[in-house]
Amino acid sequence: MSELKKKLNEEMKASMKSGDALRLSVIRLLKSSIKNKEIERGKGAELNDQEVMEVIVSAVKQRNDAIEQFVKGNRGDLAEKEKKEIEILNTFLPQPLTEGEVRSLVSKAILETGAAGIKDMGKVMKSLMPQILGRADNGAVSKMVKELLAS
């Protein structure tokens, strides 16, 4: 079992004991998403930490999209609930990278891949993804890659 899955199990037990219903609900939904992903893979498949992190990042993205929709629909109460859920999910992700750290990683990836222009953006992003997953916004990183490749 991956370390992240073990941490989820421990946090779920702690949430049950403390009576934190929201945290418990978020963790249960997350565990369910992980289990569904494993079922999709086939019998006996188990996700590693990287893949579990991808599921968590996806859950955060879904909640960000929901917040947008709730704000448009004047449902501030539901948007606040989603924000709290994001805070809980973020506790299972690594520390976010600063803009300087991201810029450094992007520059390094451009050099390593030998990217010469915008047409090589896919190579650079593919190289970067394992390093930034869950630690930086993919849209912002993509924008930074474009800027550095254009200059």
Interval 85-107 mean pLDDT: 90
Write the CATH number of the domain with boundaries 99-150.
1.10.10.410
Instruction: Give the pair of three-digit tokens for residue 4.
Output: 């992240």
What one-character-per-residue DSSP string does 43-71 give? Answer: TT----HHHHHHHHHHHHHHHHHHHHHHH
The reply to whether 3-90 and 99-150 are identical in fold is no
For 130-149, the pLDDT digits (tens) are 888 878 888 888 999 898 88
Query: Which residue ranges make up each domain of the chain?
Result: 3-90, 99-150
The pTM assigned to this predicted structure is: 0.78
Distance CA 71, CA 88 (A): 20
Report residue 13 CA to chain centroid gap. Answer: 23
CATH domain 3-90 topology: Hypothetical Protein Yqey; Chain: A; domain1 (1.10.1510)
Mean pLDDT, rounded, of the chain:
91
Q: Is the pLDDT of residue 33 over 90?
A: yes
3-state secondary structure of 98: coil
